[in-house]
Amino acid sequence: MSRTYADPIDVRRVGECPSEDSPDQFLWRGRLYVVRAVIAHWIESSVWWGGSRRALEGALPAHEHEVWRVEAQAGRSDATGVYDLRRDMVADRWILARSMD
């Protein structure tokens, strides 16, 4: 089962080069999730996922989002889930876009 969200999240990167590494943790609804694995990573343009007609016609620039599909766990006893973490590349803001059971 898949659920869509648009909840703001705080993403933490703790690698040697945090600006380039995949997300290591994220805080969602007061709970810290630890990323166990990166499943996929891609870039989406707003033109493809619901941009306005003006953007589709080229009158407005495409807005890009970076998406990380990760397997993460909130606690040692919690089940692992799959989450899509989306970063607005212009505003550098993150949201939880989808969770999959």
CA distance 23 to 11: 6
Q: Which residues contact 18 (CB under 8 A, 6 or more apart)?
A: none
Q: Could you report the average pLDDT of every consecutive run of 10 residues in the chain (101 residues)?
A: 95 71 92 95 71 51 84 89 94 94 78
Residue 29, phi-psi category: left (phi > 0), alpha (psi -120 to 50), beta (remainder) = left
Query: What pTM was estimated for this model as a whole?
Result: 0.79
**pLDDT for residue 71:** 97
Beta-bridge mates of residue 68: 41, 85
Cβ of 85: how many Cβ atoms within 10 Å? 24
Beta-bridge mates of residue 32: 27
**pLDDT for residue 31:** 94
- Residue 49 identity: W
Q: Which residues contact 3 (CB under 8 A, 6 or more apart)?
A: 98, 99, 100
**pLDDT for residue 60:** 46
